[in-house]
Amino acid sequence: MKILHAASELYPLIKTGGLADVLGSLPFAQKAQGHDVRVILPYYRHVRDVLPDAALVAVRDTFGGSVQIRYADYRGLGLYLIDAPHLYDRPGNPYHNEHYFDYADNVIRFAILGWAAAAVATGLDGLWGRADVLHAHDWQAGLAPAYLNAWNAYIKSVFTIHNIAYQGMFQSKHLGEIGLPWEMFHVDGVEFHGQISFLKAGLFYAGHVTTVSPTYADEITREPAGGGLSGLLDTRRQQGRLSGVLNGVDDAVWNPQTDAALPKPFHPKAMQGKKAGKKALQQFFALNADEKALLTVMVSRLTPQKGADFLLESLHEKLPANPDLQFVLLGSGAPELEQAFVRLAEQYPQQVGVYIGYNEELAHQLVGGGDVILIPSRFEPCGLTQLYGLKYGTLPLVRRTGGLADTVVQTDEVTLKNKTATGFVFDEPTAGALGGALENALSLWRKPRAWPAVRRQAMAQDFGWHKAAESYDACYRSLRG
């Protein structure tokens, strides 16, 4: 099958979150299954720096100005790059400027992504021909199925929701600027509360909708998780056109046996490297160099989604009561949360380390050196860091929601006995409930034989991408063009 993915991020070329990790691995897993897979991506400044010599495929005059479609081979994966410097040649983050203001022309920037994806899927590159499936990801690529529909192009399309909280909403007046017919500005179309929603366009026009875990697929058919779109999603489910496909972990990037960011590699039968990693972290953050302390870590965007506010509240209670509890954060996002964590570290310098910013290498070191990884999300479509934690023997402590609920098994008497426990799970998004899970972790930690047993179980879990690739394959085959 010829598969074209359309997305706004791809690790390691451009990344703000898990979407990039998915696009950096799923296409390779599909190639390994024998498919002909390509990805279309904006030619952001940073992508151009890494791939300066992409070959010209076609030039088009569009509603967004003159656009060149280029092609480059990237580590064996075919990439179409949308070359439009007036839209994409900007530093840093793909969505907003350095003051966190969304770019005013995002409506055009990402309409062009949808348009170009539909154009390539319908044969813009004569050498590749038409795609069998156009697979668009998140709101940034949400218009791709709408263009296919507007052009009466019978190409199979799939739209994957990575996060329904970001809906790509723009004023209705822009419809005339993005080359879609006004008939589409309708409740059965791209209209949502009087505006254009790129996400809704994807949900409405794609042949099939997926999201990144079975539990999230269920949650979004109800409010509040459905972000106002639960009705449409529930209809899709009843039509058999909504499913959840759990993300995987890229073994080439996240593997404690080969991870160059760690001071020393490790695997389930030789865990000394993990000790070395913990020691190095305690040293780096100037914490008590105590191997008996429980080192909890968090690697996260700091937004309300991630539960960092009630985590702070819980830490203020648990840190003074448990001198053997440590916490290290790598994160960035809301300035008030960033500052609150910096103050926490000032208050408990021997127990808390905080690094505000984005740092890929340090992320690996936290996942490698920690004992527990904290993901107290209010909602979590899939979540990847708990999967990385499992693989590195860093037990996830998570809220029971979305993909977290699907991937972590609570440690209790029953799961200890039947050897299925892999982490710690709590229900309510409150400091109290999170504190209870921390107590559960501390109590297991103080049992020197039980902890390594649960850790072994965690490390034995298989979240390889091959499974997701097979599920998508079945989904594509069931579709009609």
* b/e map 76-91, b = 16+ CB within 10 Å: ebbbbbbbbeebbebe
CA-based torsion, 106, 108, 110, 111: positive or negative:
positive
Q: What residues are designated binding site for ADP-alpha-D-glucose?
A: 15
Contact residue for ligand ADP among 9, 21, 83, 250 (CB under 6 A): 21
Q: What residues are designated binding site?
A: 15
Contact residue for ligand GLC among 157, 247, 401, 422 (CB under 6 A): 247
Least distance from ligand GLC to the Cβ atom of residue 18, Å: 3
Partner interacting with residue 249 (select from ligand GLC, ligand ADP, none; CB below 5-8 Å by kind): none
Q: Contact between 17 and ligand ADP (CB under 6 A)?
A: yes
Q: Which stretch binds ligand GLC (CB under 6 A): 125-133, 377-385, 388-396, 449-457?
A: 377-385
Q: Contact between 279 and ligand ADP (CB under 6 A)?
A: no
120-139 residues in contact with ligand ADP (CB under 6 A) are: none
Strand order in the sheet with 191-192: 169-171, 195-197, 191-192
Contact residue for ligand ADP among 363, 397, 437, 444 (CB under 6 A): 363
Could you give the string, one character per residue 173-212, with x where binding to ligand GLC holds by CB under 6 A and - elsewhere?
A: ---------------------------------------x
For residues 21 and 125, which CB has a smaller minimum distance to ligand GLC in the complex?
Answer: 21
Least distance from ligand GLC to the Cβ atom of residue 258, Å: 23
Q: Contact between 332 and ligand ADP (CB under 6 A)?
A: yes
Contact residue for ligand GLC among 7, 14, 19, 405 (CB under 6 A): 19
Report angle CA 339, 342, 346 to the nearest 5 degrees. 135
Contact residue for ligand GLC among 2, 17, 415, 439 (CB under 6 A): 17
CA pair distance 286, 411, nearest whole angstrom: 31
Contact residue for ligand GLC among 4, 325, 382, 409 (CB under 6 A): 382
Quote the distance between the C-alpha of residue 415 and its chain's center: 29
Q: Contact between 301 and ligand ADP (CB under 6 A)?
A: yes
CA pair distance 211, 164, nearest whole angstrom: 9
For residues 69 and 308, which CB has a smaller minimum distance to ligand ADP in the complex?
Answer: 308
Least distance from ligand GLC to the Cβ atom of residue 150, Å: 28
Contact residue for ligand ADP among 281, 373, 384, 405 (CB under 6 A): 384
Please state whether the peptide bond connecting residue 224 to the residue before it is cis, i.e. omega within 30 degrees of 0: yes
CA-based torsion, 280, 281, 282, 283: positive or negative:
positive
Q: Contact between 331 and ligand ADP (CB under 6 A)?
A: yes
Q: Contact between 367 and ligand GLC (CB under 6 A)?
A: no
Partner interacting with residue 212 (select from ligand ADP, ligand GLC, none; CB below 5-8 Å by kind): ligand GLC
CA pair distance 43, 52, nearest whole angstrom: 10
Q: Contact between 381 and ligand GLC (CB under 6 A)?
A: yes
CA pair distance 236, 258, nearest whole angstrom: 42
Q: Contact between 225 and ligand GLC (CB under 6 A)?
A: no
Q: Contact between 395 and ligand ADP (CB under 6 A)?
A: no
Residue nearest ligand ADP (C-beta atom): 18
Least distance from ligand ADP to the Cβ atom of residue 376, Å: 12
For residues 381 and 423, which CB has a smaller minimum distance to ligand GLC in the complex?
Answer: 381
Q: Contact between 18 and ligand GLC (CB under 6 A)?
A: yes
For residues 20 and 111, which CB has a smaller minimum distance to ligand ADP in the complex?
Answer: 20
Partner interacting with residue 22 (select from ligand ADP, ligand GLC, none; CB below 5-8 Å by kind): ligand GLC
What residues make contact with ligand ADP under the rule CB under 6 A? 17-18, 21, 299-301, 330-332, 358-360, 363, 382-385
